[in-house]
Amino acid sequence: MPPRRKSYDAIVIGAGHNGLTAAAYLSRAGFSTLVLERREIVGGCCVTEEIAPGCRASTTSYIASMLRPTIIRDLDLGTHGLRMVPCDPALLVPFPDEQVVPWWADQERAVAEFGKLSPRDADTFVRVDGQLKKLARYLQPFFLEPPPDPGRQGAEGWFELLRVGKRFREMTGEEIAQLVSFLTGSLGDFLDRNYESEKMKTMFLANNVYGKHGGPYDPGSALGLLFHLLSGGDGEIQGFYGHVIGGMGTITQALASACLKLGAEILTSAPVAKIDVREGRARGVILEDGTEISGRIILSNADPKHTFLGLVDERELPRDFRRAIAGIKMAGPCAKVNFVLSEEPRVHGMPGDFTASQRSLFTLVPSLEFAERCYDIAKFGEVPEELWVDCVLASNVDSTLAPQGKHILTTFVQYVPYQLREGTWDEKREMLGDRVVKKIAEYAPNVPNSILARQVLTPLDLERTYGLTEGNIFHGDLSLEQLFFMRPVAGWAQYRTPIAGLYLCGAGAHPGGGVTGAPGYNAAHRVLRDCKLGRIKTAHASGAAQKEAK
Ligand SMILES: Cc1cc2nc3c(=O)[nH]c(=O)nc-3n(C[C@H](O)[C@H](O)[C@H](O)COP(=O)(O)OP(=O)(O)OC[C@H]3O[C@@H](n4cnc5c(N)ncnc54)[C@H](O)[C@@H]3O)c2cc1C
């Protein structure tokens, strides 16, 4: 379908959940908005796709934890079909000795369970959990606002200092020290300092470094502990973990439906080949089929490398900026393998009285040392023999995904290399799939013979199919040097870019990856504020935009 107009107030490149979020807020402010998606479906890496006839899976992202409650409410996503069911237990780790440890959502129940591992650790858990939740609450407001801007001068600089200071004014000296230690320290050291049971430490590991480079003893790896305690779900629960009914694609279907209701236009199978830049200003886009569409504002939901090194002519960008973008650490360290099974995995040691939903997730990683060794192997370009595999048996919670008698198992593999030392991912794809099956079989021996279909997504497949440069699931590693005012690169963390009228609205911008909607929300609000300040002129109902920007 060709676009309905020749010119729009805003063109969003990419219909990932962030692009759709930005488009919804801009449409709501009265902008004529067009979303262009290269794939035949919307959603980016927040999708539900058929992996065998009649069987659907969240092929990429698979658990909703940090989707901002403000966005769910503002865009009324519930009425557009979004329904999330809290994961309880939030985590479950079966160990090689067949002990199965659940982390129940209810704190009292969790403490009773951890007390079986170590009474001392159970007490520590209450103290540390309280500390972590308090620290996470200080960081939370930064999610839905731009990061601090250290480059501001004069009155603007003072205003910026006040904005940031206000967020931390109630922090004690002790809490500041704790925060610095979480931002810079390692998860492993933190756990070794606080807990005695190796199993207890593994529980924390089972969730906190996914998608990132670095083993649990790498500096900065403790930060995940705080990120995962941000509130989520429609009930604003701290540390929320949710299954989305209909798979993760329900989120982006709901966002797309909200966009359409607000008047936005969405075109799929419409890959953008170039951003048209003249005299330092973005004027529109050119599709791969040659169609030219003008836009007063262009927002890119594509990752920073693809946006600036792929879609913009190199003569239009300062050399230092291009160099900084080229230097962003990507090299995605994970993969995904999705299965259709004829029977549910029977995990050794799984208590017989657990309900289907209580059996719906399990993480296969026996210890911190195992994880550290796994990263060491992957960082030198090899596929570890022994993999860390996170499993979600989505069909145990959601009967819409597969016909009765069939089961959807989606597995996330932490620590594989993007760049292989030898061979190619096309040659090694099935080997990766086999290693995942072997690992699962150690815990649930019935799985190999129950596989009806298997889809292996290597880092290369994540790049090819989902458009993630170097297969990085977060549009750039979530390490401290690539976060806050350093995301995507220092000096350009306010969603604006060196090209007037071109904004970044995806996970490559603050606060980063994960299904949060935050970069899309923040970028849209940046655009609205810039309109109000007269930095950009649009033909939209400016009164509405000004009201929205407040
Ligand atoms: C395997 C995997 C597992 C994950 N697990 C989780 C999880 O369980 N929970 C969680 O919270 N997060 C998870 N994540 C991370 C999370 O899904 C992403 O960080 C997030 O979805 C990124 O959203 P986005 O909208 O910024 O970008 P994307 O989802 O990447 O969307 C960008 C869109 O832009 C399109 N595009 C790119 N270039 C062009 C172009 N030239 N023209 C037109 N369109 C273009 C792409 O096709 C894509 O649709 C996972 C990601 C992956 C890949």
CA distance 37 to 19: 9
DSSP category for residue 455: E
| Residue located nearest, by CA, to atom 38 of ligand 1 | 302
Q: Is 232 in the pocket of ligand 1 (CB under 6 A)?
A: no
Q: Whose CA is nearest to atom 5 of ligand 1?
A: 61
Question: From atom 41 of ligand 1, which residue's Cα is the shortest distance away?
Answer: 272
Whether this prediction's pTM lies above 0.85 is answered by yes
Q: Which atom of ligand 1 is nearest to the CA of 505?
A: 26
Distance of alpha carbon 213 from alpha carbon 177, whole angstroms: 25
Question: Where would I find the H helices in 169-287?
Answer: 173-184, 187-194, 198-208, 223-227, 249-261
CA of 15 to the centre of ligand 1 (A): 9
* Ligand 1 in reach of 515 Cβ (< 6 A): yes
262 lines ligand 1 (CB under 6 A): no
- Check pocket membership of 16 for ligand 1, CB cut-off 6 A: yes
Smallest CA separation from ligand 1 atom 49, residue: 44
CA nearest to 6, candidates 283, 280, 217: 283
Q: Are 312 and 285 in contact (CB under 8 A)?
A: no
Ligand 1 contact via 60 beta carbon (within 6 Å): yes
pLDDT attached to residue 28: 97
In sign, the C-alpha dihedral spanning 40, 42, 46, 49 is negative
Which is the closest atom of ligand 1 to the Cα of 515? 11
Residue 51 Cβ contacting ligand 1 at under 6 Å = no
Q: Which atom of ligand 1 is nearest to the CA of 14?
A: 34
pLDDT-based confidence at residue 212 (cuts at 50, 70, 90):
confident
Ligand 1 midpoint to CA 126 (Å): 35
* Cα of 506 from ligand 1 centre, angstroms: 8
Residue 256 has a CB neighbour count (10 Å cut-off) of: 25
Question: Per-residue pLDDT tens for 32-59?
Answer: 999 999 999 999 999 999 999 999 999 9
91-143 pLDDT tens trace: 999 999 999 999 999 999 999 999 999 999 999 999 999 988 888 888 888 88
**pLDDT attached to residue 547:** 53
State whether the beta carbon of 216 lies less than 6 angstroms from ligand 1: no
Confidence of residue 538 (pLDDT cuts 50, 70, 90): low
Residues sharing a CB contact under 8 Å with residue 213, sequence separation 6 or more, in sequence order: 329, 331, 333, 375, 379, 477, 479
For all residues of the chain together, what is the average pLDDT?
A: 93
Q: How many A from CA of 507 to the centre of ligand 1?
A: 8
How much distance in Å is there from the Cα of 446 to the middle of ligand 1? 33
The widest CA-to-CA distance across the chain, in whole angstroms, is 68
Q: Is 213 in the pocket of ligand 1 (CB under 6 A)?
A: no
Measured in Å, residue 261 CA sits from the centre of ligand 1 at 23
Higher pLDDT, residue 304 or 171: 304
What percent of the chain lies above the pLDDT cut of 70?
97
Evaluate if residue 67 carries a pLDDT over 50.
yes
